[in-house]
Amino acid sequence: MKLVLDPKEVTDCFFAETRLLGIMAPVKDYLFCWHLNNKLGIDFRINNDIEIQLTKKQRNYFFAVYEFPEHYTSVTHYLYNNQFDGEYLLPEFKHLDFIWLLKGDDVEDKSINELVRSIKDIRGVQLVTELTTEKIRNKEHLVF
């Protein structure tokens, strides 16, 4: 008997209990994380084990993913770089530089609104908007 993995089911499962933010901040990812860590008191670290690799036009593209597990909750924050060498992780959102994924416990609207306000206060940030998974055509690109 051969088992076949259903990519849609895997993607739907991955996005259960998640919230997404799109961020326009034309700065280097490591610098943006440094600002986030200092301003918000968090500790984003690059996680090379979950780096996203896409192959387009017979070339490999690598999208960095930073990770921060919250203490005393099951929420983990992931910050994806949406651009690498002229390609986009989510081509439908070319105007966004970063995708922030909160995964784990159900994150309340109040917490999201506070987070959005805090991110907007960081120098270089031009836009922070909540994204719904329905609007993302290439959701599977975010699955690690």
pLDDT at 57: 82
pLDDT of residue 4 exceeding 70, the answer is: no
Q: Which two tokens stand for residue 13?
A: 């499962």
Tell me the one-letter amino acid at 90.
Answer: L
Rounded Cα distance, 79 and 97, in Å: 10
Residue 76 placed within a domain: yes
Tell me which residue range forms the domain holding 41: 19-142
pTM of the model: 0.90
DSSP string, 29-71: HHHHHHHHHHHH----EE-GGG-EEEEETTEEEEE-EEEEEPT
Residue 3 placed within a domain: no
Residue 103 placed within a domain: yes
Q: Which two tokens stand for residue 31?
A: 């610098």
Residue 85 placed within a domain: yes
pLDDT at 10: 74
Residue 94 placed within a domain: yes
Band of the pLDDT at 139, cuts 50, 70, 90?
Answer: confident
Beta carbons within 10 angstroms of residue 69's beta carbon: 14
Q: Which two tokens stand for residue 83?
A: 């651009």
pLDDT digits (tens, 9 = 90+) for 53-92: 999 888 999 999 999 999 888 999 999 999 999 999 999 9
Residue 109 placed within a domain: yes
Beta carbons within 10 angstroms of residue 125's beta carbon: 20
Residue 1 placed within a domain: no
With tokens 């280097």, the residue in question is 28
Residue 10 placed within a domain: no
Number of domains in the chain: 1
